[in-house]
Chains A and B, each alone.
Chain A
Amino acid sequence: KNQVEQSPQSLIILEGKNCTLQCNYTVSPFSNLRWYKQDTGRGPVSLTIMTFSENTKSNGRYTATLDADTKQSSLHITASQLSDSASYICVVSQSCMLTFGGGTRLMVKP
């Protein structure tokens, strides 16, 4: 069964600190892996998209890594800001279908 598992489920950090979120997937076949940010009650917003041949991609303070051999990805957030408080969702794409992870709920405190 295609699955995307994320850890931790929730995380609290202080403003200015870094953090790393993890994603493991069993989706096959695999087209690409995406990280989305979702504010409460809003639609997901794309942060990064990586194909199996890419092992790192950055978008500002967000850096995603991908190990297609071990089927693991991580999202590193540098110098966190209060506005980073949201759910971060790992999503694996197969053709037209996206399989979502359960997300990591990040809270950044002052």
Chain B
Amino acid sequence: EPEVTQTPSHQVTQMGQEVILRCVPISNHLYFYWYRQILGQKVEFLVSFYNNEISEKSEIFDDQFSVERPDGSNFTLKIRSTKLEDSAMYFCASSDRPGMNTEAFFGQGTRLTVV
């Protein structure tokens, strides 16, 4: 069964360092998303991406964050200068149509720990 895959599963980085989280969405999907979940808190929307551009982003997604689809298969989230409060589980999701009534498939997540 097709699935969204994320790498690495766990990343530890020092405060101030740049980090890139990688996702391979389901192959025929066109809409991509990043979410994060701080330990013990709700899952929060970060950004949606379609046709090589951001379609929506939340207030969390500030200038420290960027997304890219560098080739036909990968979808990345970059955090330029990590802060302690960026420590969270980051989930990538993809869907074959926009959010209206279509299922978004989530990856297993990358646990980011900023020390």
Contacts and interface: CB of A to CB of B under 8 A. Distances in A.
A42 B42 contact: no
A95 B44 contact: no
A43 B104 CA distance: 11
Contact of B56 (A31, A89, A96): A96
Interface string A83-109: 000000100011111111111000000
Contacts of B65: none
Nearest to A39: B108
B42 to A, nearest CB: 5
Contacts of A11: none
A46 interface: yes
A44 B89 CA distance: 12
A96 B33 contact: yes
Contact of B100 (A31, A99, A100): A31
Contacts of B50: 96
B87 interface: no
B91 A43 contact: yes
B43 A97 contact: no
A97 B99 CA distance: 7
Nearest to B102: A49
B58 A46 contact: no
Nearest to A36: B106
Interface in B81-110: 89, 91, 93, 98-109
Interface of B: 4, 31, 33, 35, 41-45, 48, 50, 55-56, 58, 89, 91, 93, 98-109, 111
22 contacts: A31-B100, A31-B101, A32-B100, A42-B108, A43-B91, A46-B103, A46-B104, A49-B102, A51-B101, A93-B99, A95-B56, A95-B99, A95-B100, A96-B31, A96-B56, A97-B45, A97-B56, A97-B58, A98-B33, A98-B99, A100-B35, A100-B43
